[in-house]
């Protein structure tokens, strides 16, 4: 069904997605100005990003077509190719809890521990009472504990909180601000702040995939060399921060694009992910690839925190986000996190494979040529003609693109005069 999807006319691509969903695509899917004006302050107009689909994904033995909103060429193609080669990707979420902080000054740690032991049940019951709506959906406050920090006179009371399918920021912040005065009064201290953290190191997704190395090349020796190079490049991202940052950026290309398409807070996820990558005290690559004992399979694993939502917030009033969630089969938040983690691993595999074979530019620049053609001023059929010539010349300089565009137009003028 998806063979040669990228080569087909736009109308055909839309029809294939329509047939896949068994319902019409609401084109154009526009964010109404009335909605947008309520979402942010000082609203002027909408800023658009292209939305496409990544194909060939099989996650936990189920097929998916993945919506991705991104401006960078080659990302969607790479994700699709990575997914096609990897086959089934296993993804499992471990917890989905937010952490809220009530930070109190002018109280000793020992005194705070005594008070927590005495009032913990009472404070938790109160927190659940003020979070009745989300408690009714099976979520809300779970535990209250003290996080011991070195080098500070403050005491941090931490509230773990299950947001169910919502992002949960407003729910937990309201709970924290309501609970904080009770804790501060008992401590006879002073409140520094009460707010959620975007770092939840005990809530993450474990994702993995294995690929027979003979899929990497028809030449068995070349396939083995590619697999070994992927392993070595992956290992290098565990010891070199420069490589680790770019390694993880490749993962986030896929992760962020799905977050954007589904209306999720990609900034919060990015912050949490990069903190997680630094949890050992050094910034490391999130994924790791190894050759299995039989040396015939390459296995990739990744652990990544993904605080995502499928209800509430701006995504409930954003028609593109609603369409994207429908394309994914209206997943719960936990399933969406598993999907996004799988996309990140496929994106990472595709990037590493490109780096150790033809280099990242060979696949990237032909796709970039269309953007360069438009930068040069090409319109309509000129875009295809110009990008084709840039690829043939293997020249991706804007100055050369403008020269070639002038020649195309000069040739076209001569033909029309004849």
Question: Would you state the structure tokens that stand for residue 279, as one six-digit string?
Answer: 């949890």
In the set 56, 97, 318, 364, the catalytic residue is 364
Q: Which candidate, 330, 309, 338, places its Cα nearest to that of 171?
A: 309
Burial class (CB in 10 A: 0-12, 13-18, 19+), 3: exposed
* DSSP tally for the chain: helices H, then strands E: 14, 10
Active-site residue among 265, 335, 338, 382?
265
How are beta strands 98-105 and 190-197 bridged, if at all? antiparallel
Scanning the structure block, which residue is given the tokens 């296995």?
299
- HSE-CB at 28 with a 13 A cutoff on CA atoms is 5
Which member of 249, 292, 362, 407 is catalytic? Answer: 249
Q: What are phi and psi of 52, to 5 degrees?
A: -130, -170
The angle subtended at Cα 217 by Cα 391 and Cα 13, nearest 5°, is 55
Is 249 a known active-site residue?
yes
Cα angle 253, 336, 70 (rounded to 5 degrees) comes to: 25
Give dist(CA 416, CA 60) in Å, integer. 57
d(CA 282, CA 245): 11
Query: Residue 320: in which H helix or E strand, if any?
Result: helix 319-327
Residue 162 falls in the annotated catalytic set = no
Contact 318, 67 (CB under 8 A): no
The secondary structure element, H or E, covering residue 392 is helix 381-393
Q: Of the listed 19, 33, 37, 72, which one is catalytic? A: 72
Whether the Cβ atoms of residue 233 and residue 353 lie closer than 8 Å to each other: no
| β pairing state of 140-147 and 98-105 | unpaired
Positions annotated as catalytic residues are 72, 249, 265, 364
């Amino acid at each position: 069904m998806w063979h040669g999807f990228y080569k087909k006319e736009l109308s055909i691509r839309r029809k294939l997605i329509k047939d896949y969903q068994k319902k019409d695509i609401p084109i154009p899917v526009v964010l109404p100005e009335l909605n947008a004006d309520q979402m942010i302050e000082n609203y002027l107009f909408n800023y658009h990003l292209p939305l496409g689909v990544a194909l060939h994904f099989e996650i936990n033995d189920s097929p998916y077509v993945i919506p991705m909103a991104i401006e960078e060429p080659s990302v969607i193609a790479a994700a699709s190719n990575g997914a096609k080669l990897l086959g089934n990707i296993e993804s499992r979420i471990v917890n989905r809890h937010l952490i809220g902080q009530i930070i109190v000054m002018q109280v000793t740690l020992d005194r705070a521990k005594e008070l927590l032991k005495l009032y913990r049940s009472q404070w938790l019951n109160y927190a659940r009472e003020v979070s009745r709506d989300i408690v009714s959906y099976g979520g809300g406050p779970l535990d209250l504990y003290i996080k011991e920090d070195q080098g500070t006179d403050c005491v941090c009371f931490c509230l773990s909180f299950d947001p169910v399918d919502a992002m949960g920021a407003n729910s937990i912040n309201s709970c924290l601000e309501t609970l904080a005065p009770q804790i501060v009064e008992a401590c006879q201290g002073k409140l520094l702040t009460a707010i959620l953290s975007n770092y939840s190191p005990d809530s993450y997704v474990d994702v993995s995939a294995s690929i027979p190395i003979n899929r990497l090349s028809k030449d068995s020796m070349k396939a083995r060399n590619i697999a070994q190079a992927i392993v070595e490049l992956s290992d290098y991202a565990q010891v070199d921060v420069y490589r680790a940052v770019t390694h993880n950026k490749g993962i986030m290309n896929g992760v962020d694009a799905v977050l954007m398409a589904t209306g999720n807070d990609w900034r919060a996820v990015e912050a949490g992910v990069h903190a997680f990558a630094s949890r050992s005290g050094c910034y490391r690559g999130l994924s790791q690839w190894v050759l299995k004992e039989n040396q015939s399979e390459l296995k990739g694993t990744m652990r990544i925190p993904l605080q995502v939502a499928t209800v509430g917030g701006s995504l409930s009033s954003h028609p593109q986000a609603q369409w994207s969630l429908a394309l994914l089969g209206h997943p719960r938040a936990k399933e969406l996190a598993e999907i996004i983690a799988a996309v990140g691993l496929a994106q990472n595999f595709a990037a590493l494979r490109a780096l150790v074979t033809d280099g990242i530019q060979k696949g990237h620049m032909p796709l970039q040529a269309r953007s360069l053609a438009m930068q040069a001023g090409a319109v309509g059929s000129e875009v295809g003609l110009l990008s084709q010539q840039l690829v043939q010349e293997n020249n991706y300089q804007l100055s050369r693109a403008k020269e070639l565009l002038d020649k195309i137009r000069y040739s076209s003028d001569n033909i029309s005069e004849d």
